Amino acid sequence: MPFTLKVNGASRTVDADPEMPLLWVLRDLLDLPGTKYGCGIGQCGACTVQLRGNPIRSCQVPVSAVGNGEITTIEGLSVDGASHPLQKAWVELDVPQCGYCQAGQLMSAAALLKRTPKPTDAQIDSAMNGNLCRCATYLRIRSAIHRAAELGSGVAASSGKEG
């Protein structure tokens, strides 16, 4: 059945099984493959996107439950895919190894910085502990979040259209 979603600032209509998780709607119906499948049970965080600014596990949310809430995916984190302070910090510190989890890491981190522009290590631990990185790039993830906080004072300086 048809659903109209607000994704990265645009209105998108899809014909989908109501039970289809948002993850698969984004990846396979809306051609937004930046959001990744890792576990399908909300354990790894690879599928993290923001719904109304909150980080959610898109593998756990059926499309029928999304409503008209604004969805932001990694593709919408900044207008140019590069200018969010987190994206700058991630590049500066060369955070990724394989890179597969990083979209989810960035979306969780972006939600953290929006709430807490200068997070402590403990706040980073709490916000990021649901995002697994199999390559264990955690030390640079932590450093890069601190660096992004310095670079942009969080989302205030972002040119992105993050909702």
Partner 1 sequence: MSSWTIDRRAFLKVSASVGGSILLSSCMDTRASTAGAQSSLFEPNAYIRLAPDGMVTIVAKNPEIGQGVKTMLPMLIADELDVEWKNVKVEQAIADAKRFSRQFAGGSLATPFNYDELRRVGAAGRQMLIAAAAETWGVSADECTTSAGVVKHAASNRTAPYGTLVAKASTMRVPDLAKVKLKSPSEFRIIGTPVRGVDTPAIVAGKPLFGIDVKVPGMLYAVFVKCPVFAGKVASSNAEEVAKLPGVRHAFVVDGGTALNKLLGGVAIVADTWWAARKAREKLTVTWNEGATAQQSSAGFAAKAAELARGPAARTIVKAGDPDAAFASATKVVEAQYFYPFLSHATLEPQNCTASFANGKLEIWAPTQNPEPGRALCAETLGIKPTDITITMTRSGGGFGRRLNNDYMVEAAWISKTIGAPVKLLWTREDDMQHDFYRPAGFHNFKAAVDAAGKVTAWRNHFVSFGEGEKFAPSSSLDDDDFPAGFIPNLLVEASVMPLGVPTGPLRAPGSNALAFVMHGFIDELASAAGRDQVQFRLDLLGEPRMVMDKENKPMYDAARMRGVLQLVAEKSGWGRQVPKGTGLGVAFHYSHRGYFAEVVEVAAANGRFKINKVWVVGDIGAQVINPMNAEHQAQGSVLDGIGEALGQEITIEGGRTVQSNFDNYPLLRLVQAPPVEVHFKVTDNPVTGLGEPALPPVVPALCNAIFAATGVRIRSLPLSKQGWTYA
Residues near partner 1 (CB under 8 A): 17, 19-21, 24, 28-29, 31-41, 43-44, 46, 73-75, 77, 81-82, 86-87, 90-91, 94-103, 106, 124-125, 128-129, 131-142
Cα torsion at 117, 5, 56, 59 (round to 10°)?
-150
Reference 131, options 141, 140, 118, 143; nearest CA is 141
Nearest to partner 1 of 65, 139 (CB atom): 139
Shortest Å distance, C-beta 111 to partner 1: 15
Taking the C-alpha atoms of residue 26 and residue 110, their distance in angstroms, rounded to an integer, is: 19
Shortest Å distance, C-beta 83 to partner 1: 10
Shortest Å distance, C-beta 156 to partner 1: 20
Q: Please classify residue 94 by burial: count the beta carbons closer than 10 Å to its beta carbon, then call 0-12 exposed, 13-18 middle and 19+ buried.
A: exposed
Nearest to partner 1 of 143, 153 (CB atom): 143
Nearest to partner 1 of 6, 144 (CB atom): 144
Shortest Å distance, C-beta 21 to partner 1: 7
Taking the C-alpha atoms of residue 87 and residue 89, their distance in angstroms, rounded to an integer, is: 5
CA 4 remoteness from chain centre:
20
Nearest to partner 1 of 3, 24 (CB atom): 24
